[in-house]
Amino acid sequence: MIEWGRALQVFVVGFSGVFICLILLQIGIIVFSKIVQRVERINNKGEG
Amino acid sequence: MDLHVFAKVFSGMGFANLTTGNIVMWVIALTFITLAIKKEYEPLLLVPIGFGMLIVNLPLTGLMDKDGLFWVFYHFSIDKWDLIPPIIFMGIGAMTDFSPVIANPKTLLLGAAAQFGVYITFFGALFLGFTVNEAASIGVIGGADGPTTIFLTSQLAPHLLGANSVAAYSYMAMVPIIQPPIMKLLTTREERKIRMKQMRKVSKLEIIGFPILGTIIICLLVPDAAPLMGMLMIGNLFKESGVVERLSNTAQNELINIVTIFLGLCVGATMPAEIFLKPQSLYIFVLGLIAFSLSTAGGLMLAKFMNLFLKDKINPLIGSAGVSAVPMAARVSQMVARQEDKQNFILMQAMGPNVAGTIGTATAAGLFISLLLR
């Protein structure tokens, strides 16, 4: 017998979970990149 | 003279215990070996898989009986400790350049969209009578990631390991055949001609920080993805840190080669005739093809949808590279784009979703484990 409730739960939580994880990773990368670029700009100004 | 001795010796021979199923498996094994050697279809996997399949279908060898040679390889490297897929992922990480993802992080979404086939096929497998665990292990074939397929299948449905692995690696080898018709069907000529901006230069610090950041974020969200994600990222850190070249070289050469040998033999050895020659195996091959095709379509469709909102349009062909057949899927995106415009080079942009797909599939596997095993 197919456990439709469990299957639907796996589908919804699983598929949306992948998106949520990768969106959060995307945000993390954007924030991290901005911090690194700012730090490098400050360092370059300091050296210049 | 006691003639029963001859009967006893003969009955102990493989010949006396050969079945039609064994012979059918020999034909399949020899087909794989021929395709690998003559056509160079994924030879690194299909040669040992084909040979493992051949030898395990020679009766009475005892190779897959408890404490047999292949049983020991399989039991400790896949069944009991699930070592091989994470070690392969370390090698993959040491060979991967994540700078396209860092330069254009929205391509991570295309890697997520390419898991569409995984989840739709999950339902398809349930309709065909597979259990929830089996359906999940079949669905993940759509991610076109061999190690992840093996990692998940060995935990959720180890009896399907042979069929799932062969399906996953076969479709990875057939990316240049399966994807282009789907790409042309779902995109217009104008869309295929879209030229994308050059990617920005990514700094060394960003490249080194990415594996650490990626590990922290994904493993905090999906701890069950840690074996795959962690090993992928440690391999990448070896490569990008620049200070452990020996470790990086070992991970992407000797270690991955050694592990690939055992992986292929073990996968082949899980396919004796009585396990593989069932209607289930045929369903798995069909479902695997559907999963892979839908994953290709999912990435393409999200790229087209994103273009409704983006000022700098993306070429939707890079969406199909969200399956994690690295780097073949990115090369196919490049090839199809250049068929419309010979001066359109989108390979580096396509590498973004391509490597993002590896992260996406590993995350999907971790989520399946946390939902179905915990």
CB atoms within 10 A of CB B254: 11
User: 3-state SS string over chain B?
Assistant: CCCHHHHHHHHCCCHHHCCHHHHHHHHHHHHHHHHHHHCCCCHHHHHHHHHHHHHHCCCCCCCCCCCCHHHHHHHHHHHCCCCHHHHHHHHHHHHCCCHHHHHCCCHHHHHHHCCHHHHHHHHHHHHCCCCHHHHHHHHHHHHCCHHHHHHHHHHHCHHHHHHHHHHHHHHHHCHHHHHHHHHHHHCCHHHHCCCCCCCCCCCHHHHHHHHHHHHHHHHHHCHHHHHHHHHHHHHHHHHHHCCCHHHHHHHHHHHHHHHHHHHHHHHHHCCCHHHHCCHHHHHHHHHHHHHHHHHHHHHHHHHHHHHCCCCCCCCHHHHHHHCCCCCHHHHHHHHHHHHHCCCCCCHHHHHHHHHHHHHHHHHHHHHHHHHHCC
Q: What residue spans define the domains of chain A?
A: 20-48
Q: Which of B136, B206, B222 has its CB closest to that of A10?
A: B136
Examine the pLDDT at B51 and tell me if it is beyond 70. yes
Q: Which of B126, B206, B359 has its CB closest to that of A33?
A: B206
Query: Does any CB of chain A come closer than 8 Å to the CB of residue B371?
Result: yes
User: Which residues of A touch chain B, with CB atoms under 8 Å apart?
Assistant: 2-3, 6-7, 9-11, 13-15, 17-26, 28-30, 32-33, 36-37, 39-40
Structure tokens at B125: 């497998």
Query: What pTM value is reported for the model?
Result: 0.91
Domain-located, residue B42:
no
| Residue B256: band (very low, low, confident or very high) from pLDDT cuts 50, 70, 90 | very high
Structure tokens at A16: 């949306």
pLDDT (tens digit, 9 = 90+) per residue, B213-248? 999 999 999 999 999 999 999 999 999 999 999 999
Name which of B175, B177, B173 is nearest B36 in CA terms. B173
Task: Tell me the pLDDT of chain A averaged across its residues.
Answer: 91
Distance of CA B193 to the CA centre of its chain: 30
pLDDT (tens digit, 9 = 90+) per residue, B115-168? 999 999 999 999 999 999 999 999 999 999 999 999 999 999 999 998 999 899
- Residues of chain B with Cβ-Cβ distance to A20 below 8 Å are 221
How far off is chain A from B203, nearest CA to CA, in Å? 8
Q: Which of B116, B217, B368 has its CB closest to that of A28?
A: B217
Task: Tell me the pLDDT of chain B averaged across its residues.
Answer: 93
Closest chain B CA to residue A15: B119
Q: Which domain holds residue B142?
A: 88-372
- Residues of chain A with Cβ-Cβ distance to B122 below 8 Å are 7, 10-11, 14
pLDDT at B222: 96
The Cα–Cα gap between B25 and B54 comes to 7
Q: Which of A7, A18, A25 has its CB closest to that of B214?
A: A25
Domain-located, residue B32:
no
Counted domains in chain B? 1
Q: Does A7 contact B126 at a Cβ distance shorter than 8 Å? A: yes
Q: Which of A1, A3, A13, A18 to mutate to test the interface with B (most CBs of B within 10 A)?
A: A18
- Residues of chain B with Cβ-Cβ distance to A32 below 8 Å are 206, 209-210, 213
pLDDT at B13: 87
How far off is chain A from B317, nearest CA to CA, in Å? 20
Q: Answer yes or no: are the C-beta atoms of B333 and B314 closer than 8 Å.
A: no
